[in-house]
């Protein structure tokens, strides 16, 4: 599904790569390593937020190295969730659908589906500012999978949560894992993903 060949990206005095990686459909790959090793940067390159200086990213054999983020079959859940504070839960979740030109009834139908799937249907008209950490994570995850991406990128999704919320979040990620999409989960804590990952790999920039 995903094939990365000799990816290189430099920012300031830091150079990431060359890195190569393959990911098959249904795989849950955990990348673990120390802070500052470029793990989050690597996800941004896959998602299209950044463009590599060298190397190639293939999806199902097609070169997507220069494809804009909105046209990639990839979505990313950020460490701080990156929700829009001035928008409602509904508008946050449906934002990627709006960017892709979905009609109002299509957005409503998808939001209703995700609300039920992630047990946040009662929050749709709420502002995200008043939500708990666990609720924000569910909204961010709903937004990430709204367009049904083939590849889901998770950037330290458990690091900002306390122990009780972390246990709930692991159950949530187990639910998403059952959808058979490919997942890359970046973490500095190898223990937190042992029961989720189908493959683990030490990240060395």
Res. 162: pLDDT tops 70: no
As a whole number, the mean pLDDT across the chain is: 87
Query: How confident is residue 82, by pLDDT bands cut at 50, 70 and 90?
Result: confident
Which of 185, 205, 187, 195 lies closest to 23 in space, CA to CA? 185
Res. 147: pLDDT tops 90: no
Contact present, 156 and 79 (Cβ < 8 Å):
yes
Label the pairing between strands 14-23 and 2-11: antiparallel
What phi and psi values does residue 117 have, to the nearest 5 degrees?
Answer: -60, -40
Which has more pLDDT, 37 or 139? 139
pLDDT one-digit tens code per residue, 89-127: 999 999 989 888 889 999 999 999 889 888 889 999 999
pLDDT at 18: 93
Which has more pLDDT, 127 or 205? 127
Query: How confident is residue 164, by pLDDT bands cut at 50, 70 and 90?
Result: low
The stretch 55-60 carries a mean pLDDT of 93
Res. 204: pLDDT tops 80: no
Distance separating alpha carbons of residues 3 and 38, to the nearest angstrom: 18
pLDDT at 106: 93
Res. 55: pLDDT tops 70: yes
Res. 172: pLDDT tops 70: yes
pLDDT at 100: 84
Which has more pLDDT, 175 or 205? 175
The stretch 50-59 carries a mean pLDDT of 94
User: Which domains are present in the chain?
Assistant: 2-73+149-202 (3.40.50.300), 86-142 (no CATH)
H or E element at residue 173? helix 163-177
The stretch 158-185 carries a mean pLDDT of 76
The stretch 128-132 carries a mean pLDDT of 88
- The pTM assigned to this predicted structure is 0.85
């Amino acid at each position: 599904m995903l094939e990365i060949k000799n990816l290189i990206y430099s920012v300031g005095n830091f150079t990431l790569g060359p890195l190569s990686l393959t990911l098959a459909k249904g795989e849950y790959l955990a990348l673990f390593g120390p802070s500052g090793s470029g793990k989050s940067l690597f996800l941004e390159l896959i998602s299209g937020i950044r463009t590599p200086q060298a190397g190639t990213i293939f999806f199902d054999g097609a070169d997507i190295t220069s494809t804009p983020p909105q046209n990639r079959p990839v979505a990313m859940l950020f460490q701080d969730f990156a929700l829009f504070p001035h928008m409602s839960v509904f508008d946050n979740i449906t934002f990627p659908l709006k960017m892709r030109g979905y009609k109002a009834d299509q957005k409503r139908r998808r939001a209703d589906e995700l609300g039920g799937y992630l047990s946040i249907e009662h929050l749709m008209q709420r502002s995200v500012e008043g939500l708990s950490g666990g609720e924000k994570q569910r909204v961010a995850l709903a937004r990430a999978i709204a367009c049904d991406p083939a590849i889901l990128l998770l950037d330290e999704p458990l690091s900002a949560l306390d122990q009780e919320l972390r246990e709930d979040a692991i159950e949530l990620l187990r639910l998403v894992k059952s959808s058979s999409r490919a997942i890359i989960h970046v973490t500095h804590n190898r223990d937190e993903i042992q029961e989720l990952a189908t493959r683990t790999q030490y990240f060395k920039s």
